[in-house]
Amino acid sequence: MSRPAAEARARARTFLAQTLSAEGNVLMLEHATRDEVVRRLASAGRAAPTKGSVAPGGAAAVEVTNARIAEAPDLEALAQLVASCSRCPLHAARKNAVFGEGAAEARVVCVGEAPGAREDETGRPFVGRAGRLLDRLLMSIGLPRTSVYICNVLKSRPPQNRDPLPEEVAACAPYLVRQLALIQPDVIVAFGAFAARTLLETKSALGRLRGRVHRYSGYPVIVTYHPAALLRNPGWIRPTWEDLQMVRRMLDGADESEARLG
């Protein structure tokens, strides 16, 4: 057999192996690029798996429109949408979506930035050291973790914990909007600059946002440091506690100026 013919037969065997392996959603890429394999599978009527296949965590992926999110009747239904969400590329690498947890009628909603590695592993917000610190801070104003609601702006982990991208926030924000509309808290606490800037649509530094009551859709918003930042800067724990005292005073009936003055 001539050398070109032998090479052609070898390529054909490789493609056959790739095609058969793809039936089990495994692509063998030894001698062909991924694009070549996808193109060949697509031409054979078997496009690469995208939407409508299986999302991380095993939930069936379906298109989640803004209207479906806005019409979710309760937190459980909304969580199911998040579990199958592929509205932005972050769904591809996540182990678990992190919807949020807590009391459905909580008076306080705590909003952070995005899941980290531990949250991605467990599917729960604010776990690990930062989560334990948050629990202690909440207890210092008489709020057990189970009495509040805790979530993030983004529901899927950005790779290497990088800052969320504007398009990711735009895709995910409707979930937070609906969570807040369903819970209707008395006070929202924005933990960290990212959550604060997203909720308040501002670019101001966190230091300029602390110490007063802001508004998001009519709900009072108090801004303070993220617990993960407190682990790196223990000197910020005291000012964070003071911010949370404002939350306590508002829950006890103080108006905004009284809450601010203490």
Q: Which spans of this chain sit near ligand SF4 (rule: CB under 6 A)?
A: 82, 85-88, 90-91, 97, 154-156, 168, 171-172
In the complex, the smallest distance separating the C-beta of residue 150 from ligand SF4, rounded to whole angstroms, is: 16
Strand, helix or coil at 71?
coil
Whichever of 64 and 133 has its CB closer to ligand SF4, that residue is: 64
> How far, in Å, CA of 223 to CA of 29, rounded?
49
Q: Which is nearer to ligand SF4, 86 or 179 (CB)?
A: 86
In the complex, what is the shortest distance from the CB of residue 168 to ligand SF4, in angstroms, rounded to a whole number? 6
DSSP helix/strand/coil, 161: helix
Evaluate whether 168 touches 179 at the Cβ level (below 8 Å): no
Closest to ligand SF4 by CB, 156 vs 240, is: 156
Instruction: Considering the complex, state which of residue 177 and residue 237 has its C-beta at the smaller distance from ligand SF4.
Output: 177
Taking the complex as a whole, the smallest distance from the CB of residue 86 to ligand SF4 amounts, in Å, to 6
Question: Which residue lies nearer to ligand SF4 by CB, 56 or 131?
Answer: 56
- For residue 240, the minimal CB distance to ligand SF4 (Å) is 26
Beta partners for residue 224, in sequence order: 191
Order of strands across the sheet that contains 219-224: 101-102, 149-152, 108-112, 187-191, 219-224, 214-216
Nearest alpha carbon to residue 240 among 146, 152, 133? 133
Report in angstroms how near the CB of residue 94 gets to ligand SF4 at its nearest.
Answer: 7
How deeply is 239 buried, as exposed, middle or buried, from its count of CB atoms within 10 A (0-12, 13-18, 19+)? Answer: middle
